């Protein structure tokens, strides 16, 4: 004898876009402009003109927006900036801020 049971599952999914984070480079008095451009090209995949423009924002305004990413990617890029900066003897820092 076989028994069949019907189950009805009701649930709703609340799907949201993942939060995004701006990644900024911060100005300091020691990191060379050329190194900042190299970081922007190598880590953030900017072309030279974009890298130069962002480097000038960092130099003149104290920080420059490098891009907007998911949390994990933003965190990875910040770690890459820190590692390459330390290896090269510079104190360049990157931070991230949640977008609104």
Residue 26 lies in a domain: no
Number of domains in the chain: 1
Residue 23 lies in a domain: no
Rg (CA), the chain: 22
Residue 35 lies in a domain: yes
pTM: 0.84
**In this structure, what CATH number is given to the domain that contains residue 39?**
3.30.1390.10
Q: pLDDT of 34-48, one tens digit each? A: 999 999 999 999 999
- Look-up of token digits 């599952």: 9
**pLDDT higher than threshold 80 for residue 3:** no
Question: Judging by beta carbons within 10 Å of its beta carbon (0-12, 13-18, 19+), is residue 21 exposed, middle or buried?
Answer: buried
Residue range(s) defining the domain that contains residue 63: 31-98
Please report, to the nearest 10 degrees, the dihedral formed by the alpha carbons of residues 76, 80, 86, 91 taken in order: -80
Residue 93 lies in a domain: yes
Residue 94 lies in a domain: yes
Q: Are 29 and 91 in contact (CB under 8 A)?
A: no
**pLDDT higher than threshold 90 for residue 11:** no
Residue 58 lies in a domain: yes
Residue 68 lies in a domain: yes
Q: Are 14 and 69 in contact (CB under 8 A)?
A: no
Residue 5 lies in a domain: no
């Amino acid at each position: 004898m076989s028994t069949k049971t019907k189950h009805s599952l009701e649930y709703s999914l609340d799907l949201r876009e993942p939060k995004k984070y701006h990644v900024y480079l911060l100005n300091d008095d020691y990191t060379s402009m050329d190194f900042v451009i190299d970081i922007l090209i190598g880590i953030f995949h900017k072309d030279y003109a974009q890298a130069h423009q962002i480097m000038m924002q960092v130099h003149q305004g104290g920080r420059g927006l490098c891009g907007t990413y998911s949390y994990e990617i933003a965190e990875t890029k910040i770690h890459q900036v820190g590692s390459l900066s330390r290896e090269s003897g510079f104190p360049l820092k990157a931070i991230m801020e949640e977008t609104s």
